[in-house]
Amino acid sequence: MNSRAKKIIGWSMIGIISLIPVLLLFTLGPEYADFSGYSGITQGLGEITGLVGITLFAITFILSTRIRFIEEAFGGLDKVYIAHGILGGTAFILILSHPVFLVLKYIPSYIQLASTYLLPSVYWSVNFGIIAIAGLIILIFITLFTRIKYHTWKFTHEFLGLVFVFAVLHALLVRGSISKDYIFHGYYIYIGIVSAMGIFAFLYSLFIKERIMKNATYLISKINHKKDIWEIEMTPEHKPINYQSGQFIFVRFYNEKLSKEAHPFSIASKSNSKNIKLMVKSLGDFTTRLENLRIKDKVSIEGPYGRFNFRNQKNHNQIWIAAGIGIAPFLGMVEELENSPDFKVDLYHTAKDQSELIGYNFLKLFSSKLKNFRYIPWSSGGNKRRIDTKEISRLSGDLMEKDFFLCGPENFKEDMIEQLVNVGIKKSHVHEEVFNFR
C-alpha cells in the first residue's frame, strides 16, 4: 500500500473515532439532544465541540506514543507528528468554542447568567473545565509564541496530560451534576473509554515506555569531527536492528556529560549494515556537547522510524535535493544505488561554500563509479544564488517525469516545495524528511 493510501486510512480512523460521540449524543433523543431553535442549536454546538474536542485531545496523546502500528497507519512517524500538531490545534479551537456556544445560548435573554457563566462556582464539575481551558491557553501560548529551548518546551508540553485529566473530569461529571443525565448513556461510556486511553497513552509515553521497551544497545566504535559536524559510528552490543537507509532513530548516549534525553538522527549508512553511522551538526545544548563522547560509550537506540528511502517510490527516475546536514539520510542511499541499476538519480547538494559540503569526496567517488548516479554540488556562495527549479531542469531535464526527495532546513524545503508545485509537480511526487518535530 502506498503512503498516500496509508495516510487516508490514518485520517479516516481519526474522523470515525472523533465523530462517534456526536452520533451517540443524537441517540439520547430529543429530551437531551434537541437541536431546534437558537437555544437548542447553541447548546448542541456547545456539546458537539466539547465532545469532539476532548476526543481529538485524547488522540493526540495516543499519536505521541510512537507505537509501530500508528506509524504504519500514517505511512511514517513524521506524518504522525504532523497529524499530532493538526489535531492538537483543532482540539484547542473546539475546546475553546465549547464554552463560547454555551454562553451564547444565554445571550441576549439572560445577560447576567451569561456574564457569570465562565466564572468559578460551587459546581466543581464546571470548575474542572475552567481549569482545563486556562491551562490549555497557557500551554498553547508557550508552544506557539515563545522561542524557549526544546527541552524546556517539552517539559511544559507534558503538563498537557494534567490539563487533559481536568477536561475529562469536567466532561464526565458535568452532565451528571448540571444536566442530571444518566451516567450510562452510550456516549458517556465512549468518552470514558477514549479518555482512559488518552490518559494511559500519556502515562505510557512519560513513565512506562522507557522501562518496558527493550531498546537495542550499541557501542561507539568511531568518532570523526570536522568543524561543527560529527560523524559517529556505532557497533551493536548484541543484536543489530533492521533498518532501511534514510530512516531515522532516537539515540540516547550513556555518557555522564550528556543529557539522557533521546534525540532523533537519520541513519547515514547502508540498509541493514551491521554498524550504524550518524552525521550530526552541532546546533544546541545537546549536540554541542558531543565532543565529550568517547569510543565504547554505550548508546541506546529506539527505532527505526520513517519511510524516507528511494525504494519506497515506484518512480525510479529521481532527484534528491539536500541542504547542509540534510545530506545525512542520502549518504546510505547513495551506497545502495550500486546494487539498484534500475534507479537513475541526480543528487543536488547545496551549502554556502564547497568546504561545507558534507561527504563531498565520498559522493564524488560514487558519482564517478556509478552510471546511474550524478552528484551535483551547489555552493550558493560560489554560484552566487540558491539552487532553483530552473537550474535543476536545465541540468536534469524534464522535471515532470521525476520524483523528488528533499531534506534540509525547514525554510529551504518549504521554498523548494513551493517552486516544484509552481512548475506543476504533484505534491505526491515530493517526499521530504522532517528534521523538526516541535
CA distances to 256, 287, 291, 361, 408 from 228, in Å: 21, 9, 10, 18, 16
**Shortest distance in whole angstroms from residue 76 CB to ligand FAD:** 10
Torsion of CA 237, 243, 244, 248, to 10 degrees: -80
Instruction: Quickly tell me which residue has 521554498 as its cell.
Output: 415
**Shortest distance in whole angstroms from residue 143 CB to ligand FAD:** 12
Q: Which residue is nearest to ligand FAD (CB)?
A: 284
The one-letter amino acid code at 254 reads Y
**Shortest distance in whole angstroms from residue 263 CB to ligand FAD:** 4
Question: In terms of Cα–Cα distance, which of 382, 243, 394, 410 is closest to 319?
Answer: 394
For residues 73 and 213, give the distance between their C-alpha atoms in angstroms, rounded to a whole number: 21
Question: In terms of Cα–Cα distance, which of 335, 267, 337 is closest to 305?
Answer: 267
Q: Which lies closer to ligand FAD via its Cβ, residue 263 or residue 298?
A: 263
Q: Which lies closer to ligand FAD via its Cβ, residue 25 or residue 333?
A: 333
CA distances to 22, 81, 190, 247, 385 from 62, in Å: 20, 11, 16, 22, 44
Question: In terms of Cα–Cα distance, which of 149, 330, 364 is closest to 248?
Answer: 330
For residues 157 and 185, give the distance between their C-alpha atoms in angstroms, rounded to a whole number: 33
Q: Which lies closer to ligand FAD via its Cβ, residue 82 or residue 118?
A: 82
The arrangement of strands across the sheet holding 229-236 comes to 263-266, 248-254, 298-305, 216-226, 229-236, 276-281
**Shortest distance in whole angstroms from residue 329 CB to ligand FAD:** 7
Question: In terms of Cα–Cα distance, which of 267, 181, 280, 170 is closest to 225?
Answer: 280
For residues 85 and 21, give the distance between their C-alpha atoms in angstroms, rounded to a whole number: 22
Element (H, E) at 131: helix 124-145
- Catalog residues that contact ligand FAD under the rule CB under 6 A: 149-150, 248, 261-266, 279-281, 283-287, 325, 328, 434-438
Q: Which lies closer to ligand FAD via its Cβ, residue 120 or residue 284?
A: 284
Instruction: Quickly tell me which residue has 511526487 as its cell.
Output: 429
Q: Which lies closer to ligand FAD via its Cβ, residue 248 or residue 320?
A: 248
Q: Which lies closer to ligand FAD via its Cβ, residue 128 or residue 250?
A: 250
DSSP 47-61: HHHHHHHHHHHHHHH
**Shortest distance in whole angstroms from residue 350 CB to ligand FAD:** 16
**Shortest distance in whole angstroms from residue 169 CB to ligand FAD:** 31
Q: Which lies closer to ligand FAD via its Cβ, residue 66 or residue 316?
A: 66
Instruction: Quickly tell me which residue has 456556544 as its cell.
Output: 101
**Shortest distance in whole angstroms from residue 301 CB to ligand FAD:** 13
Q: Which lies closer to ligand FAD via its Cβ, residue 179 or residue 436?
A: 436
Q: Which lies closer to ligand FAD via its Cβ, residue 281 or residue 344?
A: 281
**Shortest distance in whole angstroms from residue 252 CB to ligand FAD:** 9
Question: In terms of Cα–Cα distance, which of 7, 21, 152, 37 is closest to 94?
Answer: 21
**Shortest distance in whole angstroms from residue 304 CB to ligand FAD:** 10
Cell numbers that stand for 208 in this block: 512506562
**Shortest distance in whole angstroms from residue 154 CB to ligand FAD:** 7
Residue 329 and residue 267 in contact, taking contact as beta carbons nearer than 8 Å: yes
